[in-house]
Chain A
Amino acid sequence: MKIILTMLLALVPLSATRADILISNPYIRATPPVVPNSAAFMRLSNTGNAPVFLTSANTSAAKNSEIHAHENTDGVMKMHLIEKLEIPARSAVHLEPGGLHLMIFDLKQPLMPGMTIPMVLNFSDGTSHKLRLPVMNISLGE
């Protein structure tokens, strides 16, 4: 009985932290002085067999964070908010300049290279991921 209980207990944290979502290369853009907004980018991979949705993001460095998408229609860039971002099973979604990004509003202070920003990403499978995003200068993407 004791052994079974121990085994069960051991399983609990395992299932809670089982990471179907892997986050790589997260960063947030350094900001010009008069604009308290920035954008965060990263790659989200889903190693599981079911789709997972990014439902929200928050950071103590700013008031609000939203998931935004861009659409280029005949040379006009249109930006819109999305409620949740699907990461399909066994695939990855890139948040990158000119496409998807997390828009960060009302930063408490300008972001400068060398700083790191804490962020929590919440997913539809109930997991939350804590990460630290380095502040980077605008990528020029040669």
Chain B
Amino acid sequence: MALTTQKHKFLLIIPLLFGVLVGGWVWNFKAEVPDSSSSIQLGGDFTLKSHQGDVSLQDFKGKAVLLFFGYTSCPDVCPTGLAKMSAAINLLTPEAAANVQPIFVSVDPERDDPQKLAEYSAYFHPSLLGLTGKKEDIDRVVKAYGAFYQKVELSNSALGYSMDHTTRIYLINKVGKLSELLFHDTAPPKIAEKLRAIL
């Protein structure tokens, strides 16, 4: 009798163990790739610094926002992404374009201050706003948007270090909710089409 009880106890442990394992796996999976499975929950308001002071996402309620993370020393991917965002805005009617706010968040506050970002951003589009901040403030935004960046020392390179980073363009609707994730190499007409749909 005593043996049967023990056996029963043991049998009970199996599904329990299984549950813990599956639960752990699901939890891990969500933690690692928060952007692929639950893009609806990503995003949200944030405040960072421009050359003219604090800027929050909610300042642009009523406008569609294009958000891109990068750094100004980035030789290739960032200029491409920003040029495509700008070209997309230029494909819109002036009325529609006035209702789009493109934002470039630098994840490299060591090299990019708000003044430098302002000059850099203006080169791509007059309305492109360059934002950055303290590392912990940037990290909060990066995390909220399921983005990622990492400082990588480049031995032998004159660049010193590069920032590996996600290269998505975030499309945010007029009420500040993340609408869609695009890629840095999405063609401008495609980005323009997505913008028109949410304006």
**Using a Cβ cutoff of 8 Å, how many contacts connect chains A and B?**
100
Bound form: Cα–Cα A139–B170 in Å: 21
The residue in chain A whose Cβ has the minimal distance to the Cβ of B167 is A77
Would you call B148 an interface residue if the criterion is a C-beta within 8 Å of the partner chain's C-beta atoms?
yes
Bound form: Cα–Cα A34–B119 in Å: 7
B159 engages A105 (CB within 8 Å): yes
Q: Which of B119, B156, B165 contacts A77 (CB 8 A)?
A: B165
Chain A interface, >50% SS class: strand
Considering the complex, which residues of chain B in the window 124-163 have a beta carbon less than 8 Å from any beta carbon of chain A? Answer: 124, 148, 150, 152, 154-159, 162
**Lowest 10 A-B CB distances belong to which pairs?**
A32-B123, A138-B83, A64-B158, A39-B75, A78-B164, A105-B158, A81-B157, A34-B119, A79-B162, A34-B116
Chain B residues within CB distance 8 Å of chain A: 33, 72-73, 75-77, 79-80, 83-84, 87, 116, 119-120, 123-124, 148, 150, 152, 154-159, 162, 164-168, 183-185, 187-189
- Contacts A63-B158, A75-B168, A103-B159 aside, 9 further interface pairs with beta carbons under 8 A come to A32-B123, A34-B116, A74-B33, A76-B165, A77-B184, A78-B162, A101-B76, A142-B187, A142-B188
